[in-house]
Structure 1
Amino acid sequence: MSSMSSSSFASAATPAASATPAASVHPLTVGFDLDMTLIDSRPGIKAAFEELSAVTSTFVDADLAISRLGPPLEQELAHWFPKERIDEVGDLYRELYPEYAIAPSPAMSGAREAVAAVQAAGGRAVVVTAKHEPNAKLHLNHLGIEADAVVGWLWAEAKAEALREYGASVYVGDHTGDVRGARTAGALSVAVATGPCGAEELRTAGADVVLDDLTAFPAWLARHLEG
């Protein structure tokens, strides 16, 4: 749980602080990554990359691309396109994304239950992702995952910006970049071994807790709150 005292919540609720989404009335805020944490975006991203390849007449190994999800899109595009085209191609990819990537991408096992467990405990579930924020929201809406807030365009240590802003005491992700984001924010790092990083790699990166997948999260959260 958050280390903020009850007096801290009282002061955070003052009009001067109400303009920010800080944890004024929610002592529990849990952040979640999106790709390979809450959603299996591989089928959709593969389809989007294949369409991008066709439209630009440029080879993109979509199977290779989806094996290393996590970092911002621009890092992947740099493997296939010259530097001067990255911005242009990135914009094109994001335009193609809603049509090709949303419908094929299912929720990860336990994703809905993990978010619901936070909310059932009186807390907030905030999605913090490197993905283009409008597309992240499309995924969640399509799958019926009702997060309390969604913040996009943040990767690794930069995720700490949103985690601090919302007062998150826990951040759940599948990548070592998510571990770094949690640690930078001073949040507990809960890692799930459902993405490109294995359990041992996540532990070595500094994850405080490593779960096989999100189906184990509600029970872990209950124990965490009891402690």
Structure 2
Amino acid sequence: MDASTPKPVRMPKAILFDLDGTLIDSAPDITAAVNELLAGSNLPPLAVPQVTKMIGGGVRKLVERAFAASGTSLTPAALEQAHRDMRPIYLRHLTGLTRLLPGAREAIAHFHGNRIPMAVATNKPQVAARTILLYFGLLERLGALVGGDAVTNPKPAPDMLFFALEKLGVAPADALMVGDSISDVKSARAAGMPVALIRGGYTETPVEELGADLVCDTLHDLPAALQRLPTAA
């Protein structure tokens, strides 16, 4: 079966969740961090919709996109310095404006209650993701957390998915990736696992066009959608 071909979906033995745009709406906090960084270079602030389009790919890519949107092309050395400057700023803007997306808490509680191992696999830095998940009381229900700096190659590479599944002790074909973007689809396909997408995340392309195996309006709908599937052997 081609890696881009939708796979048969069964009730998973484990679930991996993306974070930004899937479990949380972090765009306002990320925008605040971006604008603090830009202000240090006397650049004007960006609006939340502008920054939302930049999310995905990790903090370095976010910094590069933000300066590009401000009309500034950074040399590799300047980008590295801006990335270093961004680290403490980013960590100051994690929970002030961030909110759980609809159904996130309920879905995590449902799968935890049904003893389905879960992990978060996110390009967000590990310490930032941990802080957010602790703040919302979700970390204790997860079997693993893999951030973008915990692996050499973040999403859309499959590395963090393999790492998370190794921690959970579940094979890729028996698990499900749940995300909101093409990066989640590509990483899942590269890992050889099915993928579900949730509408309302950080993608400009309609989720129906991204080649997912399952699409849900919100995380409220995910448990019922999975309960209608056959059980993994």
Equivalent in the alignment of 2:57: 71
Question: Which residue of 1 is the match for residue 162 of structure 2?
Answer: 161
Deviation at 1:33, TM superposition (A): 0.1
**Structure 1: where are the runs of 5+ without partners?**
1-26
What residue in structure 2 maps to residue 114 of structure 1?
107
2:97 to 82, 101, 104: 104
Structure 2 unaligned residues grouped into runs of 5+: 1-11, 68-72, 149-153
- Identity among equivalent pairs (%): 28
Give the TM-score, by structure 2 length.
Answer: 0.77
The Cα of 1:45 is off from its aligned counterpart by: 0.6
Counterpart selection for 1:210 from 209, 215, 221:
215
SS at match of 2:100: coil
Helix, strand or coil: the match of 2:53?
Answer: helix
Q: Which amino acid aligns with 1:204?
A: E
1:37 paired residue number: 22
Give secondary structure in 2 for the equivalent of 1:50: helix
The aligned amino acid for 1:211 is C
Deviations 1:21-77 (A, max 9, x none): xxxxxx821000000100000111111111112233334524312233222222232
3-state SS of the aligned residue for 1:127? strand
Match of 1:184? 190
Q: Supply the distance in 1 between the matched residues of 2:130 and 2:21 (Cα, whole angstroms).
A: 15
Q: Secondary structure at the match of 1:97?
A: helix
> Equivalent residue for 1:149?
144
Find the aligned partners of 1:140 and 1:215 in 2 and give their Cα distance.
Answer: 18
TM-score by length of 1: 0.79
Residue 221 in 1 paired to residue 226 in 2?
yes
The alpha-carbon distance between structure 1 residues 41 and 225, as it changes in their structure 2 partners (threshold 3 A), is: farther
Structure richer in helix, relative to its length = 1
Give me the whole-angstrom Cα distance separating, in 1, the residues matched to 2:224 and 2:131: 28
| Cα deviations by residue, 1:97-134 (Å, 9 ceiling, x for unpaired) | 23223221011111111112221221211000001110
Match of 2:32 in 1: 47
Q: Which has the higher contact order (CA 8 A, sep 6+)?
A: 2
User: Partner amino acid for 2:208?
Assistant: R
Match of 1:86 in 2: 79
Alignment pair present for 1:136 and 2:129:
yes
**Corresponding pairs, count:** 201
Task: Specify the alignment match of 2:46 in structure 1.
Answer: 61
Match of 1:21 in 2: none
| CA separation of 1:50 and 1:218: change in aligned 2, threshold 3 A | same
Q: For the aligned residues, what is the CA RMSD?
A: 2.3
Larger CA deviation: 27-36 vs 164-173: 164-173
Q: Kindly tell me: are residues 160 and 148 of structure 1, through their superposed partners in 2, closer, same or farther at Cα, counting changes over 3 Å?
A: closer
User: Do the aligned partners of 1:174 and 1:196 also contact (CA within 8 Å) in 2?
Assistant: yes
Counterpart contact for 2:24–2:98, Cα < 8 Å? yes
Q: Who is 1:8 aligned against?
A: none
How far apart are the structure 2 equivalents of 1:68 and 1:78?
Answer: 9
Query: Which stretch has the larger CA shift, 98-107 or 152-161?
Result: 152-161
